[in-house]
Amino acid sequence: MRSLSIFVSFTVFLIGVEAQQIRLQPFLSGLSSPVYITTAKDGTGRLFVVQQRGIIKVVEPGSRTISDFLNITSKVSQTGTERGLLGLAFHPQFSTNGYFFVNYTRASDGATIVSRFKAINNNTIGDPNSERIIITIPQPYSNHNGGMIDFGPDGYLYIGMGDGGSANDPQARSQNINELLGKMLRIAPSVSESPSDPPYTIPPDNPYAGPTPGADEIYAIGLRNPWRWSFDRATGQLWAGDVGQNAIEEIDIILIGRNYGWRVYEGSQCTGLDPQLCAGGSNPINHTPPIYEYNHSNGRCSVTGGYVYRGIRRTFASGTYIYGDYCTGEIWIGGNSTPIIDTPRNISSFGEDDDGEIYVVGLGGTVDKIIRANASADFDGDARTDTAVFRPSEGVWYILNSSNNSFRAVQFGADGDIPTPEDFDGDYKTDIAVFRPSAGTFYILGSNGNIFFSVQWGSAGDIPTQADFDGDARADVAVFRPSEGVWYIRNSRDGSFRVQQFGISTDIPVAGDYNGDGRTDIAVFRKSTGTWYILSSQSNSFTAIQFGSSSDIPAQGDFDGDGKADISVFRESEGRWYRINSSNNSLAVIQFGSNADKPVVGDYDGDGRDDIAVWRAGFWYRLNSSNNSFSAIQFGISSDLPVPLYDVP
């Protein structure tokens, strides 16, 4: 990675068809030169952020509050550029042994240090006094330090090392099998507490292990600066972004014993530094070319390796490799020549959470989550809420598609049905659906293939509460039974069901993702006291918030675009909206609407934030969050049911 300068702009430019659906969702800000984010894989769901100056931050699940996990600033080089605290890896048995490992450049001489530390207090904080140095690698120059470490599926610790710095690998270290620089290393670090035991041992199948000439620690050679790399959690393959020099950036699949070419090759091109070692030369190396590469056009300069996507929310197709460029902030899918997102970030790293969802780390102090945009009542899949009504007297849905302003009418349902639009089939388009109380049955017309299916779930008197409670980006069939104060949820992920006592007979269900973990939380609004009761999907903890009055209509939505539902009410008697923004806990009061209006919250302008909107007997009035403009449209008649009222964000 090249010089790590600060970049502060925030506008995100979207490119191409996919970019209409892929967005960066703010997750953390105000960090100090973050360079990596990872998890402990210990079942806690915590995320750990490495800051270059020597502090590791921890983020508890369902929270955006960060605290110190480890502070070793006194040990770490503070010269900036490419030195500092650069890597973090948790031992596969971290939950029981508390060991984790870091990679940093030493303050005294800039040497690469890989150390083991131990977490204390039930693994909630790292002990800075528990360090045991595992390996020390001298660095002849200040750049090309690598820095990434991780445990592979084989249980060994992999260490990515740059070529030692300067330019053109002046001492040809990357091709020297007796040097550790310019290599992927693999070792078995000690978990012994005894100082007399060796700090690590060598995996017996390392290509130069034992009497074979070459350094025992080497796994693969010929790398320039493998700044960020990762293991595919499904296949175990190691994918690396190797930073180029002046022409080519490359993505490699790293295999044992292979030679990835530097300094003989930059990407797939011969550098001319050692022409006899190139193809056609007198003594060519057995070069393994990159799987993807790109040149330095349009300001591109330094690849940031990413991850093979295996997430549960189907943000990308499973098996898709995601990576970016540090200088331009562009993010690519696989070998596509056009980026899916052009961000304003200096992308220092990517990271995965326990669900396999991908995050983008910006050196300027941010972490964003890559999401696939999914607006409520979005029947055409353009990530914008469509204007739509259900006419009970006819059993017909009338939909005005926001993507092209086209109109369609669909016969589906009967008088007495309750609209239950949601994305049940997981194609990121809202499906037409109804709940028939007399039959206790959901009837669904899937947008993916126009397939019809029904689910017997509930009974007369139940309130349908369909939403994504299990986090797989598909709506679960669910009801709230007021007579019992019980929620009945059928998980789409595995067909299991959940019965949860939460609420009383007079409560209004207000399910929403209040903690921003991608799972809908069970929640109710108690009109008699104006109180919101929320059951966190992360911790199963209970929260009560006094906000509103008995005459208010709950109208939750993500109005500030932070990925968490905001508590919000529409007060008919005043025509006012009252809201607590989850991003900063601030209060917003907005005059919009009048008595007898119905709130129809949705993201109508497609900016990733829900818009304030009301339905007035066939008229729609909206306040667009993107530019604070007002719009009005006539669509429907007074007896219609406005669909966004039933597909709550």
Amino acid present at 354: D
pLDDT value for 205 = 98
3 state DSSP class of 68: strand
pTM: 0.92
β-partners of residue 325 are 303
Neighbours of 22 (CB within 10 A): 22
Q: ∠ CA(175), CA(176), CA(180), 5° rounding? A: 105
In what helix (H) or strand (E) does residue 228 lie, and over which residues does it extend? strand 228-231
Please give the full DSSP string across 257-268, using - where no structure is assigned. T-B--TTTEETT
The whole-angstrom separation of Cα 205 and Cα 209 is 7
In what helix (H) or strand (E) does residue 400 lie, and over which residues does it extend? strand 396-400
Half-sphere CA count of 474, side-chain side, radius 13 A: 20
The whole-angstrom separation of Cα 280 and Cα 278 is 6
pLDDT value for 20 = 54
Spacing of C-alpha 393 from chain mean position = 43
Nearest to 504 by CA among 528, 488, 521: 528
pLDDT value for 3 = 35
pLDDT value for 9 = 26
β-partners of residue 434 are 419, 443
Q: Residues with Cβ < 8 Å from 212, sequence gap 6 or more?
A: none
β-partners of residue 507 are none
Please say whether the beta carbons of 350 and 306 come within 8 A.
yes
Q: SS3 breakdown of the chain: % helix, strand, coil, rounded to 5?
A: 5, 40, 55
The whole-angstrom separation of Cα 465 and Cα 463 is 6
Q: Which contacts of 175-180 are long-range, i.e. CB under 8 A and separated by 24 or more positions?
A: 175/221, 175/222, 175/259, 175/262, 175/263, 175/264, 175/274, 175/277, 175/285, 177/208, 177/213, 177/214, 177/215, 177/218, 177/221, 178/213, 178/214, 178/215, 179/215, 180/137, 180/215, 180/217, 180/218
Q: From residue 554, how far is each of 485, 510, 571, 574 by CA, in Å?
A: 18, 7, 9, 14
Q: ∠ CA(127), CA(128), CA(131), 5° rounding? A: 100
Neighbours of 214 (CB within 10 A): 15
The whole-angstrom separation of Cα 79 and Cα 83 is 7
**Dihedral of the alpha carbons of 401, 406, 411, 412, in degrees to the nearest 10:** -10
Q: Cis before residue 263, ω within 30 degrees of 0? A: yes
3 state DSSP class of 91: coil
Which pair of structure tokens corresponds to residue 358?
A: 């991908």
pLDDT value for 387 = 98
Would you give the DSSP letter of residue 75?
Answer: T
Going from the first residue of the chain to its last (649 residues), give the mean pLDDT of each consecutive group of 10, the final group possibly shorter.
Answer: 31 40 94 98 97 97 90 94 97 98 98 98 98 98 97 98 97 98 98 96 98 98 98 98 97 98 98 97 97 97 98 95 98 94 97 97 98 95 97 98 96 98 96 98 96 97 98 97 98 96 98 95 97 93 96 97 96 97 96 96 96 97 96 97 96
The whole-angstrom separation of Cα 47 and Cα 26 is 15
Q: From residue 332, how far is each of 292, 303, 321, 551 by CA, in Å?
A: 11, 11, 8, 49
Nearest to 386 by CA among 429, 332, 426, 350: 429
Half-sphere CA count of 521, side-chain side, radius 13 A: 28
Please say whether the beta carbons of 346 and 337 come within 8 A.
no
Would you give the DSSP letter of residue 590?
Answer: E
